[in-house]
Amino acid sequence: MAKVFITYPFSEDWIKELLEKHDCEVYPETSPPTVNEIKKRIKDKDAILCLLRDPINREVIDEASALKVISNYAVGYDNIDVEYASSKGIVVTNTPDILTNATAELALSLVFALIRRIVEADRFTREGRFEGWLPELFLGMELSGSTVGVVGAGRIGSSFAEKVMKLGASVLYFSRKRKEHLEKLGARKVELEELLKKSDIISLHLPLTSETHHIIGEKEFQMMGKDTFLVNTGRGALIDEIALAEALASGRIAGAALDVYEYEPGITTSLLKMDNVVLTPHIGSATYRARKGMAEIAVKNIILTLEGKEPLYRVK
């Protein structure tokens, strides 16, 4: 029986198989453990099941002499020093696919919330300011007939692109690889500059790497039209948040909807006060099906690795 540290108190039925097969230490708080707490608890562990918020860096890895597998409860893994873990013979896994549809749906929901001004209208109504129908009350933009720029056409970006095309939008996409299945539906692969200049709505779906950090900054905002809306359900630091706040305040772009933040859980204060900004607390995969499924995959990744088998999803 191997020893496993689980950094979040999941519902027991979500991780039942792991609890039954191995000696599991479950962190009791929903607030994140500190780096020192992780280091202390991981010392004699064979595996760790961690969240995206948990930094599994070189310092942590060096404390875990018995560690065989790091199972990340997320599709992303920018919280883990994958290269260093791999050099120590530690397998790193993640949980893609199961959350693809949920996150793509959230991105689409944010698009509608933003371009149809739903959050503004909700607040207006709750404040008792609605006095009857008016021809120009909360005018917005229709998705059908618009041009949507998809930055990153992996699993989630492709799913989002398919959804907006079915609703009548044209799609430009920026990706390292050509996506024939999207092009058969009418999407067109372009360079980032063209996408920024021609899109009415821009949706970000990239992982966070040294290359994608601040891929949207002051220079990129200058390329966008004043009627452009920006949506981010990828990673917060894809956007220079200070530059975003300045672009919104100056009217450089029309609005933004964010589910992730550069210094999460911190948020640039000025964004909290803007009516043309929609903010959600990193809920892209927050459906019962996706979140339970992620836990089951994370558990299976650990069990298979400890049995000397290939995990369902290995980060390479």
Is residue 213 annotated as part of the catalytic site, yes or no?
A: no
Cβ 310 vs Cβ 304: under 8 Å: yes
Cα–Cα distance, 265 to 236 (Å, whole number): 10
Residue 116 bears catalytic tag: no
Catalytic residue among 25, 59, 218, 264: 264
Catalytic residue among 116, 188, 214, 282: 282
Of the residues 117, 205, 235, 291, which is catalytic?
Answer: 235
> 62 φ, ψ to 5°?
-65, -20
Beta strands in the chain (DSSP E): 3-6, 23-26, 47-50, 69-72, 91-93, 147-151, 170-174, 188-189, 201-204, 229-232, 255-258, 277-279
Q: Which long-range contacts (CB under 8 A, 24 or more apart) does 9-15 make?
A: 10/295, 14/292, 14/295, 14/296, 14/299, 15/49, 15/295, 15/299
Is 264 designated active site?
A: yes
Q: Known catalytic residues?
A: 235, 264, 282
